[in-house]
Amino acid sequence: MACRKDGKGRVLRKGEHYRKTDGRYSYIYTDPLGKQHTIYAKSLVTLRQKEESLIKDQMDGLNVYVAGNADVNFLFDRYISTKSELRSSTYSNYLYTWNHFIRDTFGKKKVKEVKYSDVLFFYSDLINKQGLQINTLENINTVLRPSFQLAVRDDIIRKNPIDGAYAEVKKRNGGSRKRKRALTVEQQRAFINYVAENPFFYKWYPFFTFLLGTGCRIGEAIGIRWDDVDLEKRLIDINHSLTYYQRADDSFKCEFRVSQPKTEAGIRTIPMMKQVYDVLKDEYERQEVEGFCVANVDGMTNFIFTNRFETPHNPAAVNRAIKRIVDAHNAEEEVKAKKEKREPVMIPRFSCHIFRHTFASRFCENETNVKVIQEVMGHADVSTTMNIYAEVNQDVTRASLEKLSKNMDVF
């Protein structure tokens, strides 16, 4: 078998390459986390010196890990490299959580030196001094605990110092997650009517009507294409999602990737409500005249809902729009209600996920078949439907008891 050689006839080792164009040498290698890299040199001697140094550094890194002297960041990087089964949206969220809340602080601690009390102090500081919500702390715990669990299974440490810390801090600070509240019927109607009647915000009316009328996750909604909509049969095919990634170069440009829905159950078909059909039909007719979206994301195009740059909406931009709309509505409503001598209908600030929450709450108030609700919402587990979205308010409770009173002639 013939060996590869450089311009001087010297045999090259595996991974080494010689470029005739500029006379440079390169060496391609894979690091312990499975990522491929390339180093360059002007001579073969220099290249092999770099190779030897590289191998030593990699072995030192592995030895540091085995000895328990690696930092927590090394532990997470090793853990996340093994999670090939994660959906791209989950993977992106894990990285964001780690880089934003852990990497520059707790992540610099030595693995073998981390004690349970250290974790308690870290979690308590995040809640009490930095003002994080319990929900966010849960996300942090979700990436921190399995990272240390990997070290336990590798026999680097004997016990996981993260175990129980989140539960204890959670108990000290109210005992439960901050529940996300759906909009009431009055608030929902006030919001959508204000958007429909305001010439400045009207451009959001089709998109918000779609969200309130389908219960789609935000990634599913911004990724919906005309190819996924059957206006004749009035059906919407949910078969993918768009995940937004923050650009590493801090250019503030949107970078999307197509991914699968959050769960297998997320692949579903949703019948259109009349209001959704009407806005989609109007939107299609408008785009027939003005032009359809030509932005391409991983081979997909023809997206229905786009921004002024003719690209899919960034979820953060949607949340900023909601905040502006709510603030404008409340300011006007307060003045209007005072003139009309009535109580104002104030809308709380909320995120785009509350559209899904509100849709599910209205659905649960009007549908008794939980399996139907589960299918439309795309939940893998019916308990998610009932425990999170089946929110009961006083008006619904009162109406139910009044209905019970009329239907049961037992008194």
With contact defined as beta carbons under 8 Å apart, do 263 and 379 qualify? yes
* CATH code, domain carrying 250: 1.10.443.10
Grade residue 2 by pLDDT with cuts at 50, 70 and 90: very low
pLDDT class of 378 with cuts at 50, 70, 90: confident
Examine the domain organization and report whether 144 and 98 are in the same domain.
yes
**Is 152 within a domain?**
yes
pLDDT in tens, 95-143: 889 999 999 999 999 998 999 999 999 999 999 888 888 888 999 999 9
Q: Say whether both 59 and 87 belong to one domain.
A: no
Q: Is residue 3 part of a domain?
A: no
What's the rounded mean pLDDT across residues 384-401?
A: 58
Q: In the sheet where 268-271 sits, what is the strand order?
A: 229-230, 235-238, 268-271
Task: Give CA torsion, residues 203, 204, 205, 207, to 10 deg.
Answer: 120
Rounded Cα–Cα distance for residues 362 and 212 (Å): 10
Instruction: Give me the CATH number covering residue 144.
Output: 1.10.150.130
Output the pLDDT for position 383: 65
Residue 322 lies in a domain: yes
Q: Are 152 and 42 found together in one domain?
A: no
Which residues form the domain of 140?
Answer: 72-172
Q: How many CA atoms lie within 13 A of 171 on its CB side?
A: 6
Token digits of residue 325: 């709309």
Give the confidence band of 1 by pLDDT, cuts at 50, 70, 90: very low
**Closest to 386 measured CA to CA, from 349, 360, 353:** 360
Domain count, the chain: 3
Q: How far apart are CA 205 and CA 225, in angstroms?
A: 17
- pLDDT tens profile 322-362: 999 999 999 999 999 999 999 999 999 999 999 998 998 88
